[in-house]
Structure 1
Amino acid sequence: MRLRLLLGLLCCLAGVAHAAPATTAAPHKAYLSLIIDDLGQNLLQDRRVLALPGPVTAAIMPDTPHATEFAREAHRAGKIVILHMPMAPATGPFAWHPELPIEELEKRLNAAFKAVPYTAGINNHMGSRMTAQQPAMAWLMADLQRRHKFFVDSRTSAQTVAAAEAQKIGLASVSRDVFLDDEPTEAAIFTQLQTAISLARKQGSAVMIGHPYPQTLAVLERELPKLKAQGIDWIDIKQMISVRGNRATAAHGKDGQYHLPTAR
């Protein structure tokens, strides 16, 4: 009797084990976004950016000879256009500097937007001095909110407060993770691209910034078509802002809040 009961119990357990579905974790998403800076200087070179096989964001400088023309071309090509706004230590008629009053900053920003039509947002060109200026960055984020434009912090300095000021008022914004071509050799650019891919797998997403150097474009033309097979989703910058939900990554903040630089 006991033997029959034991055998029956074992059969039941075996049946349950056989019927139980295997539990598998959902695949970890890895997203990449790409911004190409300094556009508007060389049409032939810049058009290679538009030919890249995916949602590249075109960051166009207002004080370049082809700024307006190329912004129109990029818009017609279905690319997101952003203003690549010169900020100190950058120079030129549009550049922001800490000693300028807000009225002059606004005048230069208005002129820059006029020079680069179809903009959805802005990022800073240089700006290691300017993005550390809290009053100016607070004003800028409020102004972009009024214009319904987003902000990308290029993070050219650890002292930046730009993303933190954007986060304070809920402005759609995101921060750069990897510069592709500080060292403009194909080998170094390829290494930086792999760094971005690894970071996207680790933290879920990575924002890359590059420039229209021939070496950068050669690597991107060769490697970007391989992303899908590597399990990487290449998304546009607006989608990246949505994915991150205005939250800082671990490299840029804690518990989703952007770090403010410590007083020196």
Structure 2
Amino acid sequence: MPSTVNALLSAWATSLILVVGGILLMEAVYTPPEHAPVAHDSAQQPQGNNTSHDTPAATAHENDAHEQPPRHEEPDTQMPDAGNTYSDLPAPGQPANNSSMVDFSEFDHVIPATALPELLEDNTIGLLPKISDDGRKPFDVYAAARPRDDTSPRIALMVTGLGMKSNITKHALANLPKAVSLAFSPYASNLNMWGEQARRSGHEVFLTIPMEPVNYPQNDPGSLSLLTSMSSRENVNMLRSSLIRLTGYVGIVNDMGSRFTAASESMSPVLDELKLRGLMFVDSKTTPYTRGATMAKAIGVPTAINNEYLDEDLAQEQIMEALDKLEKRAQAQGAAMGIGRPYPVTIEAIQTWSEGLKAKGFILVPVTAVANMQALPR
């Protein structure tokens, strides 16, 4: 009997040694990929806010009357390919292809790739942008390289909705012209990683700020939304909750906001905070009644205004028609700005259009290069 027990114990010990040895061997051989991007197909739950609206509405639209039909919000599902695919995408931290790299021989400024400590306020809630002790503003320091050509009509483009999906964001970074400004969602993960990669590729970076639409709460911009029902202090605190999620950006652009941007008493403290922190305000103009741009310019906040949504219709000819409208406006007024989403068809149209722009007498510039140059809404 003892011999049988000893045999069983010996067999058990041998098996245990083999299992443990196998595990140790696997750990020694396996090396996880470095800097692997994490794909997020839904919004990151904001920290410190447990309300029932943790993500922006997947298919929300602004239903107020404005110059363009309601724009498309970024869906949770894959964006329509429209005959294109996401291929040959660089990994985060790797350079994008040559089409989006900066030729600094034509420009007079290089964007710092990493956020500068002297432009950051170490607040109790996180790192907030600030004007440095020697007076430098994030708007100036993180602005993209600007062309020295001051005579040609200027056209600025911004692509919004970035950061929510890894493959879509990488496709935009790899294929958009460097002068196109990029706006990231505060609900996205890995924002500082994406922001740094964008700046290394020559793009200036904006942060989108969700604001109340006219049909709220049926159309809900999410738990970080600025609301007309909140006090000035509450809205400033909510704004700061978004501002801490990214560093190294030049300003903000409103997401939705047809009710909020039309409410002067609600916009005023928000714009005061932007001025205090040396940031730009871009009015996406989701309503013709917006007061945002007019109020921002009046207090000295650098301001740009969206003149055309590029991809309300995802047919390439319609996108090209929207770009043609921007040319006409820039020719008449000296500067124009358009906003698009990172659909493959939009990116392809921008690429094709931008290649022939110089020959037509126009110049593609970052959004900061049209600050305070546009006619204000009437």
TM over 0.5: yes
Compare the two structures and name the one with the higher helix fraction: 1
User: Which residue in 2 is equivalent to 1:101?
Assistant: 231
Query: Counterpart amino acid of 1:231?
Result: G
Are 2:165 and 1:42 equivalent residues in the alignment? Answer: yes
2:358 matches 1:228: yes
Partner amino acid, structure 2, of 1:50: L
Q: State the alpha-carbon separation in 2 of the partners of residues 66 and 160 from structure 1.
A: 32
Which residue of 2 is the match for residue 216 of structure 1? 346
Measured after TM superposition, the shift of residue 28 of structure 1 is: 6.7
Provide the C-alpha distance between the structure 1 equivalents of 2:197 and 2:235, rounded to a whole number of angstroms: 28
1:47 offset after TM fit, Å?
2.3
Matched-pair identity in %? 27
> Match of 1:78, SS?
coil
Amino acid at match of 1:99: S
Letter in 2 for 1:31: R
Cα distance, 1:142 vs structure 2: 1.1
Match of 2:287 in 1: 157
> Aligned residue for 1:145?
275
Alignment of 1:158-237 (within 5 A): 158-237=288-367
* Alpha-carbon distance in 2 for matches of 1:54, 1:69: 18
Report runs of 4+ in structure 1 exceeding 3 Å deviation. Answer: 65-68
Tell me, in whole angstroms, the C-alpha distance in 1 between the residues paired with 2:189 and 2:352.
Answer: 29
The one of 179, 204, 211 aligned to 1:80: 204
Out of 126-135 and 221-230, give the one that drifted further: 221-230
Other-structure match for 1:123: 253
Question: Which TM-score applies when normalising by structure 2?
Answer: 0.56
Q: Which moved more, 1:176-185 or 1:60-69?
A: 60-69
CA contact (8 A) 1:152 1:174 kept: yes
- 1:45-103 Cα deviation digits (max 9, x unpaired): 22232232231111111012343432222123231111111111342121111111222
Specify the code of the residue in structure 1 equivalent to 2:274.
Answer: L
Partner of 1:30: 153
- 1:55 corresponding residue in structure 2: 179
Deviates most, 52-61 or 155-164: 52-61
1:67 aligns with 2:197: no
- 1:138-171 Cα distance to aligned partner (Å, 9 max, x none): 1111111100001111111011111111122121
Cα distance, 1:188–1:66 mapped onto 2, change above 3 Å:
farther
The answer to whether the 8 A contact 1:152-1:173 is kept is: yes
Which structure shows the higher strand fraction? 1
1:110 aligned to 2:233?
Answer: no
For structure 1, list consecutive stretches of 5 or more residues without a partner in the other structure: 1-26, 254-258, 260-264
3-state SS of the aligned residue for 2:228? Answer: coil
- One-letter identity of the residue aligned with 1:139: P
| Worse-superposed segment, 65-74 or 201-210 | 65-74
Q: What's the C-alpha RMSD, in Å, of the aligned pairs? A: 1.8
Task: Return 225-234 or 153-162, whichever deviates more.
Answer: 225-234
Of 155-164 and 109-118, more deviation after overlay is shown by 109-118
- The one-letter amino acid paired with 2:249 is T
The TM-score, its normalising length taken from structure 1, stands at 0.79
Counterparts of 2:368 and 2:196, CA distance in 1: 19
Give me the whole-angstrom Cα distance separating, in 2, the residues matched to 1:59 and 1:28.
27
Structure 2 runs not aligned, ≥5 long: 1-149, 214-219
Displacement of 1:40: 0.9
Deviation, 1:105, is 1.3
Whether the 8 Å CA contact 2:221–2:256 is kept in 1: the answer is no
